[in-house]
């Protein structure tokens, strides 16, 4: 039990650090023009994480995977609403949004609380798999929406 608490606390601290890193990267990204490459590469690179499911202990049922994916897509709607672009000096930039930071912190807290709760119900490997699917389900639609918004602004 003590080992489980260590993993839950450790992974929660790591999630907080990753959330802070995401906010820092997002704020820095707003200073430079956006490109298609910067929009589509993160989910492509992240997709390599699906290799974790080659490890049998990380596998989850299809119904659990679909639930995690749906929760991720619902969370992505908040990110999509707070992500927009603007044209400045002939280039397209990501608009800064205070709401984005607040939403990111809120989603991070929800994720940590869910991880603590689920970590008591299922193994750490399954929890990791579920939260990976949730994160991918959140990032992929968000980036697709960003791509569509970028292309729309680019053609006008």
Tens of pLDDT, residue by residue over 41-58, are: 999 999 999 999 999 998
- Asked if residue 5 has pLDDT above 90, the reply is no
pLDDT band for 113, please (50, 70, 90 cuts). confident
- The larger pLDDT score, comparing residue 100 to residue 81, is at 81
Q: Show the DSSP H helices in 35-123 as ranges.
A: 36-46, 62-81, 98-119
Query: When comparing pLDDT for 65 and 82, which is higher?
Result: 65
- pLDDT of the residue at 119: 72
pLDDT at 105: 82
Q: What is the pTM of this model?
A: 0.82
Decide if 29 contacts 94 (C-beta within 8 A). Answer: yes
The burial of 89, by beta-carbon neighbours within 10 Å (0-12 exposed, 13-18 middle, 19 or more buried), is given as: exposed
């Amino acid at each position: 039990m003590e080992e489980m608490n260590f993993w839950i606390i450790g992974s929660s601290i790591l999630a907080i650090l990753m959330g802070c890193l995401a906010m820092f990267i997002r704020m820095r990204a707003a200073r430079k023009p956006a490109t298609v490459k910067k929009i589509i590469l993160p989910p492509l690179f992240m997709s390599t994480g699906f290799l974790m499911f080659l490890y049998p202990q990380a596998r989850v049922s299809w119904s659990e995977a679909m639930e995690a994916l749906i929760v991720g897509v619902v969370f992505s709607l908040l990110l999509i609403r707070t992500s927009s672009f603007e044209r400045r000096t002939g280039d397209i930039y990501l608009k800064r949004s205070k709401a984005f930071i607040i939403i990111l912190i809120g989603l991070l807290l929800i994720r940590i609380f869910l991880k603590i709760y689920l970590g008591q119900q299922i193994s750490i490997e399954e929890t990791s798999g579920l939260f990976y699917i949730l994160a991918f389900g959140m990032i992929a639609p968000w980036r697709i929406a960003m791509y569509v918004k970028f292309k729309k602004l680019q053609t006008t």
